[in-house]
Amino acid sequence: MSQPSWQSLPADLPKPTDDGACDHLKGSKFPSVALPSTAGNSVDSSTLSGLTIIFCYPRTGAPNETVPTEWNDIPGARGCTPQACGFRDAANQFLELGVSHIFGCSTQDTPYQQELKQRIHLPYQLLSDENLELVEALKLPTFEFQGKKLIKRLTLAVEDGKVVNVCPLVESDPDRYPVFPPNESAKHVLQWLNDRTGRENLSTADENAMMRNMQHKG
């Protein structure tokens, strides 16, 4: 009998609830923290121009690692690999909607993350917050598992050094945090980006119409 796969999701996963641990993030300045990347360099997301999407996840499983029953029982824990694959499959759509950078981030070390990136063919880099620098600077929500501190699943939209929203980023949905189900995380971000682009286009159209009206009156 095959072992449960980290790439699949049970139908009866417990849904996490919003504990308010991300209420302080929207509108905050993104801290200057350089994190090791799977590209072999360090990335300080506060210095990146344009719109950056950073999805934080607890941990991914290693090849042939059995999914512990207690992991499934933690609301919001299971589903990191399906989440990463969702962002992989939608990478081109993010670029088309104006996203300059996509990063995954966990407290696992870089070699562990590099294995995952190669195994599931991720087109974006993963960042390691193994030393909890970003966790502490942003006061990100965490939980303990097998003696390790892990980041609760959330996604940040960072634009020119500022956190402009927290995932799933659907402004009409009050349950923006925590992300659930994890395999639909990328879809939620795309919905927010589409809504945002629509509002920006409408604003531009209104401004153009106003200018034409002013020119006509002149």
Segment (H or E) for 197: helix 185-217
Looking at the DSSP bridge assignments, the partners of residue 126 are 104
Name the class of domain 34-217.
alpha beta
pTM of the entire structure? 0.85
pLDDT on residue 59: 96
pLDDT of residue 3: 42
pLDDT at 63: 86
Token digits of residue 100? 């300059």
pLDDT of 1: 34
Rounded distance, CA 98 to CA 55, Å? Answer: 17
> What pLDDT score does 175 carry?
44
Query: What is residue 13's predicted lDDT score, i.e. its pLDDT?
Result: 83
Q: How many CB atoms are closer than 10 A to CB 76?
A: 23
Residue 19: what pLDDT?
83
HEC secondary structure over 20-86 = CCCCCCCCCECCCCEEEECCCCEEEHHHCCCEEEEEECCCCCCCCCCCCHHHHCCCCCCCHHHHHHH
Counting as low any pLDDT under 50, the low residues of the chain are 1-4, 168-172, 174-175, 202, 205, 207, 209-211, 218
**pLDDT of amino acid 58:** 96
Q: Where are the domains of the chain?
A: 34-217
Output the pLDDT for position 201.
61
Q: Which amino acid is located at 184 in the chain?
A: E
